[in-house]
Amino acid sequence: MTSENLRKQAEGALQDQPLQVLEESRSKYADLYDLAPISYFTFDKNGIILEVNLTGATKLGVERGFLIKKPFSFCIVPDSRDVFYSHLQQVFRTRTQQTCEIKLVGKGGIQFDAQLESLLVQDSEGKSSQCRTVIIDITGHKRAEEETRRLLIAVQQEKDRLSARINSINDEVWFADTQKRFILANSAALREFGLDSAERIGVEKLARSLEVYRPDGSPRPVDEAPTLHALQGEVVTKHEEIVRTPASGELRYRQVSAAPVRDAELELMLIQERDKAKKLLDIAGVIILALDTEGRVTLTNEKACEILACIKEEIVGKDWFETFLPERIQDEMKAAFKKLISGDLEPVEYFENPILMSRGEERIIAWHNSIIWGEKGKIIGTLSSGEDITERKQIEEALRKVYDELEIRVQERTAELKEAEASYRELTESIGEIFFAMDKDLKYTYWNKASETSTGISAKDAIGKSLYEFSPEIKIIAASGLAEKDKLKNIADHTNAFLPKPYTAEKLLGTIHDVLSMK
């Protein structure tokens, strides 16, 4: 083989591969990752921080460089550390997305509640040895939930106090709200009508189900029901009617009195509690939503109105599932809700699902859910706080696509390099002269067959050894910049040519030719 043929083959094998596409993908991914308004972390299985974006470092109030290769546990309050490590174990064991809540220490030493969403990802070698974690500050969620729960507990306590009072009365006593639903009844009323509870029973629905007559024997219309008149602000005194009671099936003559509730002390307390809660709920940055056992909205806040593009009057009292969920998931969500209310399904603390705005657009909401318990340990509804994560999901999807693209580019580039390396090795093995490669510490990393034949030293014995361990009469090409200058000086007697920066195929081929031409 002539030197010219050798040069042409080497040029084909060692030609630099285009990196522009790969670098563009890397740059795009880095920009999305760093500038995302969400805290992103990458952990190994031991909880060591491998990567963190600028948002995450800023949230913790720590320089990003300081966080890398540090245990994340130093950012976690002691009581939450076991939860974090258990979370990591689940991610690596199940290889599925996992969620947990912990308390972190942020900027200025201020503690905050955080939700972690983690998913296993592959490292540069294709191994699933890392997990990518989104960290979300849910302090607002927790505060709003706690205040709403406190309000509901206060209301329930007042109902219990009132219930204890009216249960001592022998006559029937019923209470209804402005939504025309009974919310409380004493033991005499429940017994007479064969009911376990009066909560959430529609006034009109109950009136239609009863056989009721006027004193003259003519049927009494539903709109003459005393309760409905009282709900319109009227006071009804000793209204006479004849009703067939469901418990006994007998016709009974009754006198019914009904009036709006006017307990000044109670009303003032409830107004104060309501106003205080309303202010707290309306400044919360999350949706607050309470549903009764039928799935109707009983409580919400301004954030819900903003996201749904509705006023409160268009939300409260509506069937949540039929009005505000996309049709494709209504049946599934309704069925799960009924099982939850009946106690046949354990509550899911965290859940994501789309909701439907008034103008038909969909938004993705991350919900934190809990059960509302009434008297006698009965479920009377659910309480949820929800965060609009639509933009976050869009960013995550964009990151995923760019990351996948980057992985493809890296795999393609790796394949190209392996192919080039294979061609390079094939070429150097065909050379009849001694040829080897060294790393920056002057240790042999490659040793061709001609080197084995000429020196009697096998590649197995040579690779990994230092030049100082044996110095055969061989020709060396030293790449300046790859080895330290003092080390290059020490091997000057054995070095026949230097390859200066920048390393190009043309310069390398020229140097190889010069060395091989030496006598």
Confidence of residue 512 (pLDDT cuts 50, 70, 90): low
Task: Using pLDDT thresholds of 50, 70 and 90, give the confidence band for residue 90.
Answer: very high
| Residue pair 383/145 in contact by the 8 Å Cβ criterion | yes
Find the mean pLDDT for residues 374-398: 80
Report, as an integer, the average pLDDT of 426-454.
77
What pLDDT score does 88 carry? Answer: 94
Closest CA to 10 of 317, 420, 373: 420
d(CA 456, CA 160): 97
Predicted pLDDT at 401: 76
Q: What is the pLDDT of residue 14?
A: 40
Give the mean pLDDT of 285-297: 86
Residue 340 predicted with pLDDT over 60? yes
pLDDT of residue 504: 57
* pLDDT value of residue 319: 93
Residue 488 has a pLDDT of 47
Residue 392 has a pLDDT of 80
Average pLDDT over the chain, rounded to an integer: 77
Q: Which two tokens stand for residue 370?
A: 């809990």
- Mean pLDDT of all residues in 71-81: 93
Asked if residues 34 and 54 have their Cβ atoms less than 8 Å apart, the reply is yes
At 509, is the pLDDT very low, low, confident or very high (cuts 50, 70, 90)? low
**Confidence category of residue 470, pLDDT binned at 50, 70, 90:** low
Contact between 29 and 399 (Cβ < 8 Å) = yes
Of 322 and 476, more confident? 322
* Mean pLDDT within 107-116: 88
Share of the chain above pLDDT 90, in %: 15
Q: Which parts of 417-481 are beta strand (E)?
A: 436-438, 444-447, 476-479
Between the alpha carbon of residue 19 and those of residues 408, 414, 418, the distances in Å are 13, 11, 15
| Top-confidence range, 134-148, 299-313, 406-420 | 299-313
- Ranges of beta strands (E only) in 418-475 are 436-438, 444-447
> Which pair of tokens denotes residue 400?
């995923």
pLDDT (tens digit, 9 = 90+) per residue, 21-57?
555 555 555 555 666 678 889 999 999 999 898 888 9
The yes-or-no verdict on residue 3 having pLDDT over 50 is no
Contact 380, 373 (CB under 8 A): yes
Res 77 pLDDT > 80: yes
- Among 321-330, 354-363, 454-463, the least confident range: 454-463
The amino acid sitting at 364 is I
- Among 325-329, 333-337, 505-509, the range scoring the smallest mean pLDDT is 505-509
| Mean pLDDT value of segment 146-150 | 73
Say whether pLDDT at 204 is over 50.
yes
The per-residue pLDDT for 321 is: 93
Would you say residue 185 has pLDDT above 60?
A: yes
The two most distant CA atoms of the chain are separated, in Å, by 133
Contact 115, 135 (CB under 8 A): yes
- 5 has a pLDDT exceeding 50: no
Q: Is 106 helix (H, G, I), strand (E, B) or coil?
A: coil
Q: Can you read off the two tokens belonging to residue 499?
A: 């390859």
Is 407 or 512 the better-scoring residue by pLDDT?
407
The pLDDT of residue 239 is 87
C-alpha to C-alpha distance for 142 and 132, rounded to whole angstroms: 24
